[in-house]
A and B are shown apart, each in its own frame.
Chain A
């Protein structure tokens, strides 16, 4: 087999800071982190140190309990300043966690921050080989060898500073999106809020009261919705979808589709006379099928913007070309059946993703018979029913006969904490909304008999436990520990018999109820999957968007300039959503206040001496970053437009001349890693052998 020869001589790409890094004579410092016992509990860091000391170029090796601590960082700085270390290798956690920390530290000591190489001996070593200590130690030593080898090939680089457009895009107009938009607008930034529905308000607008305080949801939300619509810094794009996002932090280019609502927003005054005359009645999605609306409608009375929308699917004019009663009735000539979708192009510096959640929909053939028994409803359907402006005017009724139910059961953890359906997580709000709704039902009908079938009651928030006790003691709501196994219908009365194992009593019981409410959990919203793809956001195993770090960067994403708020990141209640929205606003504001942001030097550069202008890179690049320009010595050669290059390196993988290369992943750097990975100098070395390299005190 003829392996294409890797370039034996190092390919010197035309680095902007050429000549600054003297590879051959580099003094390398290695810093091995114990991470408490996270690494040192498995990997014998002493042995890794001894092995590292023997590596060529290594002049300092230190072990630290926590290299990321002040003390640990001080050692790195000291080694650079006092021992003349020119390349720093930190063997610790994933670079995805602490690379920025150590880059700053290296820079602080006066060294170019890109002369740092991280070695991942925690996530990719100690944590995954915890039962094979000796082999994990060998691997860690080899990983350090790879890092040292690459470190020798590192070159100083300069981060690029780009201007930041002081404008933000907020995707999603639920409570989280509303809060983030308001906060940013109040800081003086221009905001575009894009909401796919005709009105903002999100799921919170559908709720009756909020736990644990019993505030009316829409009463506390509506003023915020109105404030947003009137804010001079906010452009509200309702009934619109984000279709495409290009660019990077500071200057994203966003394409938004404004779906035709067939009613001119500037002319509609929201009087509702069109809806009065509209002859078409259909189920209102906002009321989850319990109420009705017209084909020209606002989803709910407090909608913002209070502008009517024609539902094209059901409008008679679109179906048959006739009717136009609404057009005749509207005195402002706001209705226009010829209206077309409009595409807007926005330029924004940052993006807040607040795409929210959907509620879990019970399975068609499931145990809880949601699709088969009329009197089995979901928690959100109950919310609509209990809501004074809802389809029943706030009266709780049985869907089968319209009578008030005397016996109500709540079944918890439907679609949550269930391995069978793949939703292992707790949805965090179902316990409390069921308890809150039980209280409201008791307030409406004090004679009602209520039982809550639960697995664990999670009343963890401020005032939650108190509400739980109040409902249990003052309202005599019964809490039964156990997951119902079977629901059967009495065909005459339409009542439902629940068979369950009551685990606290250790017996199986059967009880009959007039209404069963399924406390369905939260799942990522349908729209969020689409947005995730458009923005290249990573999802956690549960399908919600993954934050940059679960503890320290809970509102950032792996993408610079894109932040998360609300249930898009994970299920949470209203106060947590609002808090996260405020945090996201603050994170998004930072680069916008600074008006500039540093961008990692990852772009590709071309070595003019090697490039023959074949243009393969031009064909391959997904961003059209390389272009062919006339070369100094005649002929064409490639040139990379830096602002377009994302640094993926697919050009380098195909370049026949090896003339193009991304700055941080050059051929010779990668070859040096391959070579070190397969060289066994660190395997099974004798621990007794004394270190040859000089170790600084």
Chain B
């Protein structure tokens, strides 16, 4: 809980907000497992459940930044483990597209992550959130110009 402790000490530290899109079968189950095994991670994340990571429209990610998210995670099943045959391949392609797009828009690459988290990987889910919170705290708030809607 270093990230949390740090925030207690310095009230002024920016408190990042993360939106995580998790597929129902692997990553959402992984996040649930983090809970059942009581793995602690910072409370900065809001999980939005979708059936497949392939459901995540890049527009959802951009909208999240526009509305004030400091970071976005799109989490799905490991390659070749997709519950819907190959939804995660599409996630991967859209992730590449988003990375380029965000780069051009001047949004730091640490603010976006596509991660494969299996239903058994509660620890990986917790670590992914922890790591992103630490990175986002370092980065500070997102540039207002970069995320202006429209």
Contacts and interface: CB of A to CB of B under 8 A. Distances in A.
A131 interface: yes
A221 interface: no
Given A128-B41, A533-B81, A671-B63, A677 B55 contact: no
Given A539-B119, A674-B63, A127 B55 contact: no
B150 A6 contact: no
A125 interface: yes
A538 B29 contact: yes
A90 to B, nearest CB: 14
Contact of A3 (B24, B42, B68, B149): B149
A124 to B, nearest CB: 6
12 contacts: A3-B150, A123-B34, A129-B41, A132-B43, A541-B33, A622-B84, A648-B52, A649-B54, A650-B90, A674-B60, A674-B67, A677-B19
A67 B120 CA distance: 28
Contacts of B80: 533
A678 B40 CA distance: 22
A649 B68 CA distance: 25
B26 interface: yes
Given A1-B146, A4-B59, A533-B81, A127 B35 contact: yes
Interface string B17-47: 1010000111011011111101111110011
Given A139-B43, A670-B48, A674-B64, A3 B55 contact: no
Given A558-B25, A649-B50, A650-B90, 20 more contacts: A1-B66, A1-B101, A94-B28, A95-B49, A96-B24, A123-B35, A127-B36, A129-B40, A131-B4, A132-B4, A139-B46, A538-B120, A602-B51, A622-B86, A653-B58, A654-B90, A662-B51, A670-B48, A678-B19, A678-B69
A142 B146 CA distance: 26
A5 interface: yes
A123 B41 CA distance: 12
A135 interface: yes
A670 B22 CA distance: 12
Interface in B56-98: 56-60, 62-69, 80-81, 83-87, 90, 94
B40 A647 contact: no
A120 B52 contact: no
A44 interface: no
Nearest to B83: A536
Interface of A: 1-6, 94-96, 120, 122-125, 127-132, 135-136, 138-139, 142-143, 146, 533, 536, 538-541, 546, 558, 602, 620, 622-623, 646-650, 652-654, 662, 664-665, 667, 670-671, 673-675, 677-679
A667 B32 CA distance: 24
Interface in B123-149: 126, 146-149
Nearest to A139: B43
Interface of B: 1, 4, 17, 19, 24-26, 28-29, 31-36, 38-43, 46-52, 54-60, 62-69, 80-81, 83-87, 90, 94, 101, 105-107, 118-122, 126, 146-150
Candidate in A123, A650, A664 with the most chain B CB atoms within 10 angstroms? A650
Contact of A142 (B31, B46, B65): B46
Nearest to B19: A677
| 6 tightest Cβ-Cβ pairs between the two chains A and B | A123-B35, A649-B55, A650-B54, A3-B62, A1-B105, A648-B84
Contacts of A662: 51, 55
A131 B147 contact: no
Nearest to A544: B120
A674 B74 CA distance: 13
A495 B55 CA distance: 63
A198 B52 CA distance: 39
Contacts of A674: 19, 48, 60, 63-64, 67, 69
Contacts, number: 179
Contact of A649 (B52, B67, B119): B52
Given A533-B80, A650-B55, A653-B57, A539 B120 contact: yes
Given A124-B32, A677-B19, A546 B46 contact: no
B48 A123 contact: no
Contacts of B43: 125, 128-129, 132, 135-136, 138-139
A622 B85 contact: yes
A649 B51 contact: yes
Contacts of B41: 128-129
B83 A94 contact: no
A673 B48 contact: yes
Contacts of A673: 48
B57 A652 contact: yes
Nearest to A546: B119
Contacts of A533: 80-81
A622 B88 CA distance: 11
Contacts of A648: 51-52, 54-55, 83-84, 87
Candidate in B36, B41, B47, B55 with the most chain A CB atoms within 10 angstroms? B55
Contacts of A122: 35
Contact of B84 (A94, A128, A539, A646): A646
Contacts of B34: 123-124, 128
Contacts of B1: 131-132
A146 B66 CA distance: 17
A3 B150 CA distance: 6
A1 B52 contact: no
B90 to A, nearest CB: 5
Candidate in B39, B68, B80, B121 with the most chain A CB atoms within 10 angstroms? B68
Contacts of B122: 541
Contacts of B57: 652-654, 667
Contacts of B119: 538-539, 546
B147 A1 contact: yes
Candidate in B67, B68, B80, B106 with the most chain A CB atoms within 10 angstroms? B67
A672 to B, nearest CB: 10
B51 A647 contact: yes
A634 to B, nearest CB: 28
Contacts of A143: 46
B47 A124 contact: yes
A545 to B, nearest CB: 11
A123 B49 CA distance: 14
A131 B29 contact: no
Contacts of B48: 146, 670, 673-674, 677
A44 to B, nearest CB: 14
Contacts of B58: 4, 653
A675 B25 contact: no
Nearest to B119: A538
A653 B50 CA distance: 11
Contacts of A622: 84-87
Given A128-B35, A665-B55, A675 B126 contact: no
A143 B104 CA distance: 32
Contacts of B31: 123-124
Contacts of B148: 1
B150 to A, nearest CB: 6
B84 A650 contact: yes
Contact of A536 (B25, B29, B39, B54): B25
Contacts of A129: 40-43
A546 B149 CA distance: 43
Nearest to B62: A3
A128 B55 contact: no
